[in-house]
A and B are shown apart, each in its own frame.
Chain A
């Protein structure tokens, strides 16, 4: 089995809630609440879950853009929260992020060439201006854009092209690990397909490790090697994409998958798992298993005790009574 590039152990991130008069602290949002996870080298790992499940916060923690409340984040064996600033800074070259909204993540006052060249300017100070320009041209070519684009501003491009610019910027320092946070969610389907294909190509070409954060399970099934399913700050199941889709162990995974609309009208009358109730918020996480209020199989044990993450073969699941395959 491949080596893990990024690993977390008991990772937690709690945010204080300042509500009430004069902003006095009242409770905490447990956005990430004890996650054990391993992303293998050169794989595409997808983090899925519904809004508020903590997938974005987890992604930011993996890049050490957030300081964890507790736990370890190992990147290539090094625990990020323990590194001093200088070593963290040099490690940043290996990790990059592509954001969801290509309208908000590119500075509208900078030329595309400067946007893509900025990481090079910061981290590779020895390069001359001409060398940097050459590198930017090369990067734009890699993501399928004309070299002329370097002289233009972000507003002159469509959403799909802007996302290509964001990807070129992420590739600038030849990173090993890229987090794509809902990177295709804002795009139209025909453009989304272009970007997904590009990401697949780049991964092979540059041996990248990709962490894909998304709520779109069809995209995940198409792209990911392995999946982690998040629910209210926990990673409740991990496994290979095929195993998870064909025989989910966690009832939440099963519910989530059965809710995805299938683009085939002949399949509309298939039996679906009935869905009841709303998702509780991360401030009022239920006791016991956090999924038990919505779980059709919940028993007394589930209401009382939080299930630990168990390993079954190469999969993990946090459930007292995992579904049999």
Chain B
């Protein structure tokens, strides 16, 4: 793996959250508990993650709920800081895309396109140029001056997609992006992904939607309880993930049923 091609390099990433069991987030609570300081528990959300992602790669991250996917994504996008010793190196401009964040319900579609586009790094000039194509792609020409709060969730997602295709960053972090809606909507998702790939963008895709993962990803990282299980081709990673899910499901279903029966007795 030549070094120039690596655009995202995570080395030795650990993340520990300190969780307080009692709420002391106020002046009054702090004063009333002055002789009874709050103990905090350390929870390890991520342990020793090492990833290198190359330019132009479509990189998937999968794992069950609570496996640390979102935490890892937040660390990659520098929302959270890793524990001491961890290092993140990202070469190039990046943006994180989620469906329908940065939309303001009280604003019209027109205003939201400007707001959302601008928040994702597009200049007003650029937005004005692509404005009509955004509306066309989202099939919302008739609702340009309607407040977004009257939109269906499908309409909002379509709008988010259409803005997303135009984002100029080299690296895109997709968070549960796509995988919703009907057949025609799925077609749009495919269009967007193909467009990203055509334009040589580096993509990190976090999703439960295993179909898109297996279809588009070059490599997949499987996380389990904060640990990096493997990084491999999608079919290998997915197989491992499915085995894992099946095993967990069996255990929890078994204990659940067992408890149920004991309770009835």
State yes or no: do A and B come from one complex: no
